[in-house]
């Protein structure tokens, strides 16, 4: 059976260790917090403002006021120059190739209208609507 004295020694050692750890952990770099003393309602406080430059033009106004005093600080920053405009790609080169032959598919020797119209024969040859001497000057499709 354990005596009271045997239980009291480890408990006291544990409590002492906790106190040492608490003081070492909280007291290393922090000091006591103190509030500035206030001498009355008509006091003015000065604040330091750090301004980070922004890429846009900005006018920043900071007002600190108490019941009777107002402090105003105005700062203007400038904008970075805009990036150079993007150049559009050059237009594709213009080629002067002859477009594919398109038109009306016609039968050679068939009637046509008006004179001078063009068409394409069944074999892909170009045909023109002209007067045919052998058929009483009627308009017919003929090879160009």
**More confident site: 73 or 84:** 84
Separation between Cα atoms, residue 121 and residue 108, nearest integer Å: 6
pLDDT mean over 28-53: 60
Residue 70 inside a domain? The answer is no
The answer as to whether 82 is a domain residue is: no
Q: Is residue 139 part of a domain?
A: yes
* Greatest mean pLDDT among 52-56, 76-80, 86-90: 86-90
Confidence of residue 61 (pLDDT cuts 50, 70, 90): confident
Would residue 111 count as lying in a domain? yes
Tell me what pLDDT residue 14 has. Answer: 92
> What mean pLDDT do residues 28-41 have?
55
Q: Is residue 87 in some structural domain?
A: no
Q: Edge to edge, what strands does the sheet with 126-132 contain?
A: 104-105, 118-120, 126-132, 138-143
Which span out of 62-76, 91-105, 109-123 was modeled with the highest average pLDDT? 109-123
> Any residues with CB less than 8 A from the CB of 69 and at least 6 apart, and which?
42, 44
**51-83 in b/e burial notation, b at 16+ Cβ within 10 A?**
eeeeeeeeeeeeeeeeeeeeeeeeeeeeeeeee
Structural domain of residue 131, as residue ranges? 104-143
- Dihedral sign, Cα of residue 13, residue 15, residue 16, residue 20: positive
Chain-centroid distance, C-alpha 88: 19
Bigger pLDDT: 38 or 80? 80
> Residue 133 domain-assigned?
yes
CB 119 within 8 A of CB 102: no
Mean pLDDT of 95-101: 60
pLDDT at position 15: 92
Q: Residue 121 falls within a domain, yes or no?
A: yes
| Model pTM score | 0.30
Domains identified in the chain, total number: 1
Q: Which residues touch 59 (CB under 8 Å, ≥6 apart)?
A: 74, 75, 76
Q: Is residue 89 part of a domain?
A: no
- Find out whether 18 and 25 touch, Cβ atoms under 8 Å: no
């Amino acid at each position: 059976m354990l005596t009271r004295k045997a239980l009291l020694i480890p408990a006291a050692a544990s409590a002492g260790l906790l106190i040492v750890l608490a003081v070492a952990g909280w007291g290393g770099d922090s000091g006591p917090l103190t509030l500035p003393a206030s001498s009355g309602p008509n006091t003015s406080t000065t604040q330091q403002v750090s301004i980070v430059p922004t890429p846009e033009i900005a006018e920043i106004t900071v007002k600190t006021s108490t019941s009777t005093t107002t402090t105003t600080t105005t700062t203007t920053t400038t904008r970075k120059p805009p990036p150079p405009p993007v150049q559009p790609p050059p237009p594709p080169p213009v080629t002067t190739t002859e477009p594919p032959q398109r038109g009306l598919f016609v039968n050679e020797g068939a009637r046509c209208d008006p004179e001078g119209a063009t068409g394409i024969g069944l074999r892909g040859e170009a045909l023109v609507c002209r007067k045919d001497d052998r058929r009483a000057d009627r308009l017919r499709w003929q090879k160009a």
